[in-house]
Amino acid sequence: MPDGSPWHYLDTAATAQKPRAVIDAMARALGEDYATVHRGVYTRSANMTLGYEAARRRVARFIGADEGEIVFTRGATEAINLVANSWGNANLKSGDRILLSQLEHHSNIVPWQLLAERTGAVIDVCPLTPDGRIDLDAAERMLTARHRLVALCHVSNVLGSVLDAPRAAALARSVGAKLLLDGCQAAPRLALDMAALGCDFYAFSGHKLYGPTGIGALWARADLLEAMPPWEGGGAMIDSVTFARTTYAPAPQRFEAGTPAITEAIALAAAIAYVEEIGLDHIHAAEQALVRQTREGLAAMKGVTLFGPEDSCGIVSFCVEGVHPHDLGTILDEENVAIRAGHHCAQPLMAHLGVPATARASFGLYSDEADVAALIRGIERTKRIFG
């Protein structure tokens, strides 16, 4: 803080603070290294192109994929919309079904609703287990041969519950459906391997992975990506253009119309390098220790309701009786504690939980026990204020 007091940032699930290495990488890319990519024949443009495509390779290695399967997007929201508008428009028709779950982020609900409106497809909603996990036993009973797509969150942004992704993939395959995973909260915390997960599409955002905003990635199986039509037209995604006919570049360039987020992609690669140097296993273990400490501290308080499983992944959501989460967040801010208060872009989940909003503390690689202690102190003060 400006006065030198510590700031306890517990909103990493919304967006992560950026390491200096990421800021420096973006500054270099915006400054002395800057040029456009894929167009210039001069040296700096060629070097920037190499850096941009190296970033694609870095992302691919990070999730156990091939670089030709990585499409850069503005974030997970655009990645999911890309699948809905390209693969979805080409493959769904009236009467087909899409399976979602009760805990999905709006970004993994609304694109499918828009697709259903366009095509006449029907959306089904998988319930949750009592501790807040996607109920795959229920999903198995619900899935039919009419289901073409299953779209689920890998790690809930509210409950921190982790999906058994390989089982979800097996269930989808058993009825001939494709599986899309929203990996926004998983990518900063869990080691990823697309072959092991067994999914068909995977989306995540850079800014939750300690990178900049305005960049994310869609992974899709190569055969699916190759068959998908473009969803935006413009420069860079074409092979040749005449007024009579346009032919398109191969994937993934076919899905990256216009000048790309060059500096953001390079900074995302720097963020991944930073995370890999620390180690995802180390980050996950440290966050889990903080989750346990937080849940134990909150469980010992009267009038506090905890949501989600005991082993929630880096995220703890809760409510304090008689205190609206927004009021709690305001008072905690006076204690230099930053949490998220609201519906977390998961209004159907709030309805399921029976609350208008929750308070959410979420951890990152910079979080420590002092942050948890400050949170607990701030909640105790809030309870005293509200009597």
Question: Contact at 8 Å (CB) between 364 and 16?
Answer: yes
How far CA 249 is from CA of 257, 325, 343, in Å, comes to: 10, 49, 41
Phi-psi region of 45 (alpha: psi -120 to 50; beta: other; left: phi over 0): alpha
Going by their DSSP bridges, the two strands 147-153 and 178-182 should be labelled as parallel
**For this structure, is 345 an active site residue?**
yes
Q: Hey, which bits of the chain come out as E strands?
A: 8-9, 70-73, 97-101, 122-126, 147-153, 178-182, 201-205, 216-220, 238-241, 246-248, 304-307, 315-320, 337-338, 340-342, 358-362
3-state SS class at 59: helix
Candidates 126, 153, 184, 345; catalytic one: 345
What is the spatial order of strands in the sheet that 216-220 belongs to? 70-73, 216-220, 201-205, 178-182, 147-153, 97-101, 122-126
* Residues with a known catalytic role: 345
